[in-house]
Amino acid sequence: MSRLSGQNLPNAPVASIDVQAIQHNLNLARACAPASKVLAMVKANAYGHGVAGLAGRLQGIDGYGVARVEEGLQLRALGVAKPIVVLQGFIDGAELDACVAAELTPALHSDYQLRLLESHNAATLPVWLKVDTGMHRLGFAPPTLPALLANGRLNVACIVTHLANAGEPQHDQNQRQLDSFLQLTANTHLPRSMANSGAILALPMSHFEWIRPGIMLYGSSPGDQPDPNLRSAMTLTAPVIAVKSLVAGQAIGYGGSWTAPGPTRVAIVGIGYADGYPREIPAQMPVWVAGRRCPIVGRVSMDSIMVELGQLDVEPPARVELWGKNLPVDEVAQLLGSIGYTLMSRLTSRVQREYLH
Ligand SMILES: Cc1ncc(COP(=O)(O)O)c(C=O)c1O
């Protein structure tokens, strides 16, 4: 059955997930903020790590954080009974009804959501009230908060805000947002939540009653420097499906954008942009093959890339590492001018996930 459904067939990219590494990173988040509850951020399919494979496998989580109602419903369907906070809240009455039915806790950030709560007689639903302390993305403006808290018509389980610059702990705006949040919440006894990964690791004053670790759980750094205390959880590999011998002057791939400078061997590797591997890579982007780094050459195709082996002896179905234990995802991201979040979260469903314990 599993072979028929495509599981574990060798010609597939595989993201191997080290569950112990995620547990280690989760324990680190707890140790940084021992008095706080942990809302584990598992939106975007657990940042590409596969929410179905992780749900129920980790200890020490007090609740789960997702972006959208649909992601919350998926978690409930997987049997998750803990609180689930939907950080974008509901967008219409149907989504609000779904929150009520599945006991999801939406974040409220806009007036239209208050009107929906009233018109659906759902005011008793526990909500997280989101206040905009300076990121100017989602959240009520600070002057409106006292009235929202005083009107008694909302069942506020937590007041939440989000930092715009947590990845840069020294950034001035962190302190400004913190001061604003402290002032706004000074007269309430409600739980508060501010810290994502960067703030959990570097801004203890921001921890409050709930922390919301995301990227750090998966072992990628929230800032520009790798964090030696985090353990990388994902290793992405794909198979060599063919090896070509080229002579000087032969061009390879779409547009013939790379030409062999001399006799060389090139591996065709079964992963492409339809799997989520970025098409926009710089020249010489490395992959890890048979214990060393080799460059990707030519254009990334939908289902394959080409890797110059030189005279390295590699044959199908040897596996190539795109990032992971030997090639840090943060390094690959930096070469791309991007961040680990994007690489991991955009892996598509064609990439199989396997869980190592
Ligand atoms: C509202 C909110 N909280 C927490 C997080 C987790 O952030 P990080 O992955 O940097 O820990 C995110 C991620 O984007 C978010 O949008």
Residue 21 inside a domain? The answer is no
DSSP for 32-64, written as a single string: HSTTSEEEEE-HHHHHTT-HHHHTTS-SS-SEE
Distance 138 CA to ligand 1 centre (A): 13
Distance 39 CA to ligand 1 centre (A): 10
Task: Assess whether 166 and 43 both reside in one domain.
Answer: yes
- Say which DSSP state 24 is in: H
What domain range includes position 329?
234-356
Task: Assess whether 203 and 239 both reside in one domain.
Answer: no
Q: In ligand 1, which atom is closest to the CA atom of 196?
A: 11
Residuewise pLDDT in 10s, the chain (357 residues): 333 444 667 889 999 999 999 999 999 999 999 999 999 999 999 999 999 999 889 999 999 999 999 999 999 999 999 999 999 999 999 999 999 999 999 999 999 999 999 999 999 999 999 999 999 999 999 999 999 999 888 999 999 999 999 999 999 999 999 999 999 999 999 999 999 999 999 999 999 999 999 999 999 999 888 889 999 999 999 999 999 999 999 999 999 999 999 999 999 999 999 999 999 999 999 999 999 999 999 999 999 999 999 989 999 999 999 999 999 999 999 999 999 999 999 999 999 999 998
**Confidence (pTM):** 0.95
Residue 297 inside a domain? The answer is yes
Q: Is the CB of 329 under 6 A from ligand 1?
A: no
Task: Assess whether 252 and 185 both reside in one domain.
Answer: no
Task: Assess whether 210 and 238 both reside in one domain.
Answer: no
Site to substitute for ligand 1 among 192, 203, 212, 216, most atoms within 8 A of C-beta = 212
Do 75 and 229 touch, CB atoms closer than 8 A?
no
Task: Assess whether 158 and 266 both reside in one domain.
Answer: no
Distance 215 CA to ligand 1 centre (A): 8
Task: Assess whether 193 and 132 both reside in one domain.
Answer: yes
Catalytic residues: 43, 254
Do 203 and 178 touch, CB atoms closer than 8 A?
yes
Task: Assess whether 93 and 167 both reside in one domain.
Answer: yes
Structural domain total, the chain: 2
